[in-house]
Amino acid sequence: MAWVFAGGIAIAPWSRMTTISKFTLVVCAAVFASGCATTMNVSSYVERGTDFTQFRTDDWGPADALAQVPARPINSFTASDEARLGREAAAAVRQHLEVVSDPDVLRFMAAVNGRLANVVRRLDRQRSFRYEFAVLNVRDVTSFSLPGGPVFVSAPLVGLLPGDDALAGILAHELAHVVLRHATLQATAGEQFQIGAVTGRQLGLAAAVPVTGVLERGAAFSIATYFLSFEAAHEVQAESLGLRIMEAAGYNPAGFMEFVAAMRLEGAARGGLEWLGRHPNARPVAEPRPARVSAGFELAQAQLRRMKRPAPSIGDMASREFSDRAGVGVAPPDGFYRDVTAGDRLRFAVPDGWRRMLSGNTVMFVPEGGGVSLPDGPGAITHGIEVGVARGTPGGLEADTVRLLSALGRHDPKLIWTPAFRTSRIAGRKAMSTTLSHVCGVTGEFETVMLTAMHLDDGSLLYFLGVSPEAEAGLYRGVFEQIVLSLQIVR
């Protein structure tokens, strides 16, 4: 049977959809596609045949993007707190993902680090920040930075690069996010409805650990929207500053821009669409030099291409470990509820006896036997509900909900969604709800997932995710609806 995939979610076959479902799918696809397209317009220069030699980074500097950075932006994190958060997150990444230790790769990355970090230190007054690069042996084409200086790039991405300048551009872009403190600025902006404090370890796990459960993936999504993905203005600022950093370090920005343009055309085939979304509108530069491929780059790239990709993920191992005891003997709700809070502003009622499991900026309420905990957080949830807050976007409620759905279905063909939304009023505001089907990674049985999302006063996205075995969906549907309808937002 053929299935259509959208943003990583398995969509029901077209022939089985209702007319409304087909219309909703088209609308959602348009919203999702427009959200990706607006983040990067580099290909427009290629399509118009514009010569890369006609622009300089001076034309893409303080006069526009960098001038928009406030002199003293509001940030509730001190520089030392931010550095500590990044160190803890980097330690978690290194614990759960394989960091390439090949001497040739380490030697080359240290040389690039020396050139770029020397430039950054002249711009950055945060002496507590430590800038370091590492290559991850993972399957994804990706790169990301953590607060305070750690930068990671994947081996498959390095394997695609044409030379030194492209790698320097990627790393300089990530360093620019660190220098401009974008992660903690976004986290500060979302503190009004914060549910719980995000630790460095939780941030590292959100970046590194593939999770098997829908609720666990929802918790990672909440953290990632604040610390690992950036709003459009921040991406523009990072692209502008990144080009200036690499040029000051002696690299040719045109080499990076040509690679981005090529990825724009081939990203879907090469698995780099998500990475492309982080690299917006940057302009070509003047006086291009021939693309350089140093001996160090050539040797490091050859070593990475020869490496075998990693063994089963930590999420796969967790599934096997808990499959014999998760979701066994869960008592049905008895109809009694108690009032609970999530942060300072959110109140609602959950079944009496459901225990609280806090994970970063989300909180889960789980019946006895409905979840197994790991030292790092929830390890396997088969029954329960999650309440989370994520950073919103200017695209509106439907676009933000689709973005959440895409995160839930990332690399998970077992999550199936028939595109259809129900709209309602919850706590005096518009809400959208939908239902998904999933094969539980722990039990191997079908489960039903109910999602309700709405915007809060500051534009952030509040969402409820309820999960239960498909055979018990009728029993838990009313429970989940009662929890959502009881929501009160304290002003």
What pLDDT digit, counting tens, does each position of 446-468 carry?
999 999 999 999 899 999 999 99
Does residue 112 have a pLDDT over 60? yes
pLDDT in the model for residue 111: 94
What pLDDT digit, counting tens, does each position of 410-455 carry?
657 778 888 899 999 999 999 999 999 988 877 788 999 999 999 9
Give the pLDDT mean for 109-128. Answer: 82
**Which one is predicted more confidently, 345 or 316?**
345
Domain ranges of the chain: 39-306, 314-489
How far apart, in whole angstroms, are the C-alpha atoms of residue 411 and residue 9?
A: 8
Half-sphere exposure (Cβ direction) of 157: Cα atoms closer than 13 Å? 27
Give the pLDDT mean for 375-388. Answer: 73
Give the pLDDT mean for 263-284. Answer: 54
What pLDDT digit, counting tens, does each position of 21-65 carry?
443 443 344 333 333 322 222 222 222 222 322 333 343 333 333
What pLDDT digit, counting tens, does each position of 68-88 carry?
444 456 787 888 888 888 898
Q: Would you tell me which CATH number, out of the four given (1.10.101.10, 3.40.50.300, 3.40.1000.10, 3.30.70.260), belongs to the domain 314-489?
A: 3.40.1000.10
DSSP string, 308-348: PPP-S-HHHHHHHHHTTTTT-SPPPP-S-EEEEEETTTEEE
pLDDT in the model for residue 25: 42
Give the pLDDT mean for 355-372. Answer: 81
Q: What is the spatial order of strands in the sheet that 346-351 belongs to?
A: 337-342, 346-351, 488-489
Q: How far is CA 135 from CA 96, 118, 165, 251, in A?
A: 14, 20, 17, 20
What pLDDT digit, counting tens, does each position of 96-111 carry?
888 999 999 999 999 9
What pLDDT digit, counting tens, does each position of 133-183 carry?
999 998 878 889 999 899 999 998 899 888 999 999 999 999 999 988 888
Does residue 394 have a pLDDT over 80? yes
pLDDT in the model for residue 47: 27
When the pLDDT of each residue in the chain is averaged and rounded to a whole number, the result is 74
Give the pLDDT mean for 225-240. Answer: 78
Confidence of residue 332 (pLDDT cuts 50, 70, 90): confident
**Which one is predicted more confidently, 115 or 138?**
115
SS3 64: coil
What pLDDT digit, counting tens, does each position of 171-228 carry?
999 999 998 888 888 878 766 666 656 666 666 766 765 555 666 667 776 677 666 6
Contact (CB, 8 A) for 372 and 325: yes
